[in-house]
A and B are shown apart, each in its own frame.
Chain A
Amino acid sequence: MAYGNAAFAALSDPTRRRVMERLANGPRAVGEIAEGLPVSRPAVSQHLKVLKDAGLVSDRHEGARRIYAIDPKGLGAMRAWLDQFWDVALTAFKAEVERAANDEKEHAP
């Protein structure tokens, strides 16, 4: 559950969403990801660390370079979305159940 919320928080940032969009096209090194983005390369590295900690991105070494990649099917993000979605839905469910239970009590003989 912590995983889902961390992923959701990670993706609430527009720059990190742009990083994810880039990685959706295939694995990239930091320099390639940073190209054309309005933030510095160290900032991109920081964003990648957040995405990695949230379980949305993995990395591997290729020689001296570090290559970042995501699950190309988007399942990590899909799961994060569902996790957050069910939180909202079940909170609404709880409120409605308890409202109904209260009604029953009031109308009990």
Chain B
Amino acid sequence: MSLAIKPAPVKKTLVVAATPQTAFEVFTTGFDRWWPRSHSIGEAPLQTAVIEGRQGGRWYGLLENGREAEWGDVLAWDPPRRLLLAWRIGADWKYDPQLLTEVEVVFTPEGEGTRVNFEHRLLENMGEQAEGARASFDSEGGWTGLLRMFAAEAAKGS
């Protein structure tokens, strides 16, 4: 339908007071030290968040119930300059190995610090996936789940 919204990439730029080397290491090896615990995608609370440090490595969460929640994998590993991850969590909040959305993080020296250019793109692929699966609006995936998450975030913010 022509009314569909094609989402633009989510882009963020920040400058951190650290070298690109440190920034890259903290983003990847230190992933678990900063990944917000409130943003676990899986059946149980998140215990450890992991990015495996190599091209083809996995990106996943270890859950408190001992199981793993897959999020995606490492498409490009180019320390300390660039990291490209596949985020394979769909609009239904489930892991789908066929779904590709890309998270790219580029680290560039800037003065004493590092500029971090972040982009999460190809979000429109989630729509193709949703169309194929005819995601139910009333299920936890799709609208109901999304709106519930908005409500939770809004409650936190206020």
Which residue of A is nearest B35, CB measured? A89
Return the contact of A101 from the options B7, B19, B143, B154 (Cβ within 8 A): B19
Contact yes or no, A78 B30, CB < 8 A? no
B146 interface residue, CB < 8 Å from A? yes
Which residue of A is nearest B19, CB measured? A101
A49 interface residue, CB < 8 Å from B? no
Return the contact of B17 from the options A78, A82, A98 (Cβ within 8 A): A98
Quick one: given A11-B147, A92-B36, are A74 and B91 in contact (CB under 8 Å)? yes
Return the contact of B18 from the options A60, A75, A86, A100 (Cβ within 8 A): A100
Chain A residues with CB under 8 A of B1: 69, 72
Chain B 118-148 interface residues, beta-carbon cutoff 8 Å to A: 118, 120, 123-124, 126-127, 130-131, 135, 137, 142-144, 146-147
Q: Which of B8-16, B52-60, B61-69, B70-78 is near enough to bind chain A?
A: B8-16
B50 interface residue, CB < 8 Å from A? no
Chain A 9-51 interface residues, beta-carbon cutoff 8 Å to B: 11-12, 14, 17, 20-21, 24-25, 27
Contact yes or no, B35 A74, CB < 8 A? no
Count A interface residues, CB 8 Å. Answer: 49
Chain A residues with CB under 8 A of B14: 90, 94
Quick one: given A73-B127, A90-B116, are A17 and B39 in contact (CB under 8 Å)? no
Contact yes or no, A78 B126, CB < 8 A? yes
Which residue of A is nearest B127, CB measured? A73
Chain A residues with CB under 8 A of B5: 55-56, 58, 70-71, 75-76, 79
Quick one: given A73-B91, A92-B35, A100-B30, are A82 and B120 in contact (CB under 8 Å)? yes
B residues adjacent to A (C-beta < 8 A):
1, 3-8, 10-12, 14, 16-19, 22-23, 25-27, 30, 33-36, 38-39, 91, 116, 118, 120, 123-124, 126-127, 130-131, 135, 137, 142-144, 146-147, 149-151, 153-154, 157-158
